[in-house]
Amino acid sequence: MLDVLRVTFPFFALVLCGYLAARKGFLPLPAIPGLNGFVLFFALPCMLFRFGASTPIAQLLDAGVFFSYLLCAILMVAFSVSVSLNERIRWNDASLGALVAAFPNTGFMGVPLLVALLGPAAAGPAIVTILVDMVLTTSLCIALSRLDAAGEHGAAVAARKALAGVVRNPMPWAISLGAVFSWQNLELMGPVAKTVGLLGDAASPVALFTIGAVLARSQMLAHEREHGPLRVVDYLPIAFIKLLVHPVLVFLVAAIAMRAGVTIEPFALTVMVLVAALPSASNVSLLAERFGADNGRIARIILVTTAAAFLTFSGAVALLKP
């Protein structure tokens, strides 16, 4: 366990540094979107491209991992929505809450952390789960969030907007381009490869620092929420579902699929479970703001899962790491 904590501690320490920097005013709140933009549009796509280009194409096209993880995502969304809906939490808040329950922080935190723990081979299955969550899970939850509305502003319109957002997101394109390079055994020219390498190396520390800053910003702006006082029962069950139910569900579904004859490598199963054990994706907070959901609730779920994951994720690694 101590060996695991030696690896995971720096990652969570960087999140704490970003949180404290924003809380203490060392990082101005208006600067946080700029950090987020640097990570999302420059550093992280370069990191994912590099991992995609160096990963065998068979791992990036692993149907067993893709469909098993997709089924778990759908079950997580359905379960989270069903336990959240009540007179105060309607479809918009319940659906964005379900997204933080089903969408781990794989891009900003998971890929570099899993590679540090398990080696470069962990990037392949992790990238497959990113595609599921960014393209399908996010689109499903955004479409469900519009069920409170009627007519032209309903779920179909939201689904189209969600797909348009996926098209504008550089991460799926970076993964796809990396897969093409892997398939064709292509390499970037020296100066271009060096530039991509520098940006990719910056992704992990800046992304982790930005996670903490985003969480601090959301908490500092929580007093502006229009949804009334936030109750523990509104966010703690979803945090529990994310950190404990999600990895157990992924393990059971993938194990059953393997017993049924679906090809999933044991190593890929370990990566899938550890991905599910990650804290909630911090970018869901930005989606909550955009779609008018209760961002105070979403931010609190992300904050609780991020803080608790230092122990729960490290424990999962200690149990599963070969």
Whole-number Cα distances in Å, 129 to 62, 105, 136, 209, 288: 10, 11, 10, 23, 22
Distance in angstroms (rounded) separating the CA atoms of residues 45 and 53:
12
DSSP state, residue 15: H
Domain 2-320 has CATH 1.20.1530.20: yes
DSSP state, residue 280: B
**Which has more confidence, 122 or 223?**
122
- Whether the pLDDT of residue 205 is over 60: the answer is yes
**Average pLDDT over the chain, rounded to an integer:** 86
Report the candidate in 312, 264, 4, 246 with the shortest Cα–Cα distance to residue 128.
Answer: 264
Calculated CA dihedral for residues 18, 309, 272, 198, nearest 10 degrees: 20
State whether residue 230 is helix, strand or coil. coil
- Residue spans of the domains in the chain: they are 2-320
- Whether the pLDDT of residue 156 is over 70: the answer is no
Listed range (25-29, 55-59, 69-73) with the worst mean pLDDT: 55-59
Report the candidate in 281, 255, 241 with the shortest Cα–Cα distance to residue 132.
Answer: 281
**Which has more confidence, 20 or 54?**
20
Listed range (48-57, 151-160, 252-261, 264-273) with the worst mean pLDDT: 151-160
Structure tokens at 63: 């149907």
Distance in angstroms (rounded) separating the CA atoms of residues 50 and 196:
8
pLDDT digits (tens, 9 = 90+) for 79-104: 999 998 887 788 888 888 999 999 99
Report the candidate in 241, 204, 230 with the shortest Cα–Cα distance to residue 104.
Answer: 241
Name the pLDDT band for 233 (thresholds 50, 70, 90).
Answer: confident
Name the pLDDT band for 286 (thresholds 50, 70, 90).
Answer: confident
Instruction: Report pTM.
Output: 0.86
